[in-house]
Amino acid sequence: MTFVPDELVPLAPLTTMGVGGAARFFREVHDEATLREALAWADEHGAALRLLGGGSNVVVGDAGFDGLVLRLVSRGVRFEPFDADRVDVTASAGEPWDEFVAACVERDLQGLECLSGIPGHVGATPIQNVGAYGQDVAQTITRVRVLDRETKDARVLTNAECRFAYRDSALKSETPDRYVVLDVTFRLRRGAPPAVRYAELTRHLEANAGTTPTLASVREAVLGLRRKKSMLLDPADENVRSCGSFFTNPIVAAAVAKQVARRAGDELMPSYPESDGRVKLAAAWLIEHSGFKKGMRSGPVGLSSRHALAIVSHEGARATDVLDFAKHIQLMVRARFGVQLTPEPSLWV
């Protein structure tokens, strides 16, 4: 076997949160052959395994990771007509997500435009069922090609087999360690109008009255909205060291949502009906109405000055500081509203 990993590689510089220790073993993986060698090496040496993409949705613990970390950086995008109106677009797991979205928009392919500006790589999107501004990848993914760590074979998971849910999938919740995503295929519509379903985005576009939204204008609008919230990776932004939204929006029974509104004393509390009768609550609103303000700090960590859902690590912050602050937010929201917030990033602790 020719696979030889690097040792004691710092992980903090490879994540957007910028905290955490080193990987005992580490290797960038550019192709499937190297991935297979790496997995065989991990099995042979009894090494625990973690997969890292763009590092935008992970908090690495201060002790680092005592195993093998593989950073998937495989590249490649393939466009194949499915029929007169649709195109199947297959992207390797290591493709930077926003570059991929931009390429699809430039080709007038509808289906991903509202997901512009999200950091990370393509391979992570089906795991998390990445979504924003009224779109998520479950709406367009047709297949996910994976390497099965149990059988050592490559196989294809259909959309149904992925069992997508809100910021969730079978890859994340049911078999989190079994599959390694190799590439993802999206079925996009050629020349279709943009999907504008999200109220904030609609208002933003309506400000440009008299113009018909295009895929390009929707992409620019989404990038603008994300920029205002410090949800783009801008090195000059004081809020750049974060995972974006640290908590998912809780989805609760309709009766619970009414109880939360009564506790808040605000019947106009933002809430969004789900198709199954449950109600999605706004985590940022719950946080701000539990005593937290944008920009507040607790030592070297705090909330973003532009978005209450983002926890920011400032100079000198450790992973422990980030996680303690997150736990404090959870405790205060639960005490105020009886709602448990769930972290969105993967916690390597």
Residues 314 and 337 in one domain: yes
Domain termination residue (choose one: 45, 72, 99): 72
Token pair, residue 347, equals 């916690």
Give domain status of residue 224, yes or no.
yes
305-323 pLDDT tens trace: 999 999 999 999 999 999 9
Residues 113 and 182 in one domain: yes
Residues 83 and 43 in one domain: no
Percentage of the chain modeled with pLDDT above 70: 99
152-184 pLDDT tens trace: 899 999 999 999 999 999 999 999 989 999 999
Which residue type occupies 153? Answer: D
- pLDDT above 80: residue 266: no
The domain of 30 spans 6-72
Residues 123 and 172 in one domain: yes
Domain termination residue (choose one: 51, 72, 93): 72
In the prediction, which pLDDT does 76 show? 97
In the prediction, which pLDDT does 209 show? 65
Half-sphere exposure of 310 (CA within 13 A, CB side): 27
Give domain status of residue 236, yes or no.
no
First to last CA, the chain: 31
Q: How far apart are CA 272 and CA 278, in angstroms?
A: 9
DSSP state of 62: T
Reported confidence tier of residue 46, pLDDT bands at 50, 70, 90: very high
Residue 262 CB: number of other CB atoms within 10 A? 11
Token pair, residue 219, equals 């992409």
Mean pLDDT computed over 274-302: 96
Domain termination residue (choose one: 72, 99, 128): 72
Residues 169 and 290 in one domain: no
Q: Which CATH number goes with the domain that contains 291?
A: 3.90.78.10
Residue 332 CB: number of other CB atoms within 10 A? 16
Q: Which CATH number goes with the domain that contains 158?
A: 3.30.465.10
114-147 pLDDT tens trace: 999 999 999 999 999 999 999 999 999 999 999 9
Give domain status of residue 192, yes or no.
yes
Please, is 246 exposed, middle or buried when counting C-beta atoms within 10 Å of its C-beta (0-12, 13-18, 19+)? buried
Residues 28 and 91 in one domain: no
Q: How far apart are CA 319 and CA 313, in angstroms?
A: 9
Average pLDDT taken over every residue of the chain: 95
Residues 91 and 224 in one domain: yes
In the prediction, which pLDDT does 99 show? 98
In the prediction, which pLDDT does 1 show? 59
Residues 195 and 285 in one domain: no
Give domain status of residue 269, yes or no.
no
Token pair, residue 122, equals 């393509």
Residues 44 and 164 in one domain: no
Q: Which CATH number goes with the domain that contains 66?
A: 3.30.43.10
Q: What is the Cα Rg of the chain in Å?
A: 21
Reported confidence tier of residue 268, pLDDT bands at 50, 70, 90: confident
Residues 59 and 83 in one domain: no
Q: How far apart are CA 186 and CA 193, in angstroms?
A: 17
Residues marked as catalytic? 167, 245, 344
In the prediction, which pLDDT does 207 show? 82
Give domain status of residue 107, yes or no.
yes
Q: How far apart are CA 281 and CA 166, in angstroms?
A: 13
Residues 14 and 133 in one domain: no
Q: Helix, strand, coil proportions of the chain in percent (round to 5)? A: 30, 30, 40
- Closest by alpha carbon to 250, among 167, 149, 145, 349? 167
Between helix 215-228 and helix 97-106 the angle, nearest 10°, is 150
Answer yes or no: are the C-beta atoms of 71 and 50 closer than 8 Å. Answer: no
Give domain status of residue 41, yes or no.
yes
DSSP string, 156-178: EEEHHHHT-BTTB-HHHHTSTTT
213-232 pLDDT tens trace: 999 999 999 999 999 999 99
Domain count for the chain? 3
55-106 pLDDT tens trace: 999 999 999 999 999 999 999 999 999 999 999 999 999 999 999 999 999 9
In the prediction, which pLDDT does 212 show? 85
Mean pLDDT computed over 198-212: 82
In the prediction, which pLDDT does 198 show? 87
Residues 123 and 29 in one domain: no
Give domain status of residue 257, yes or no.
no
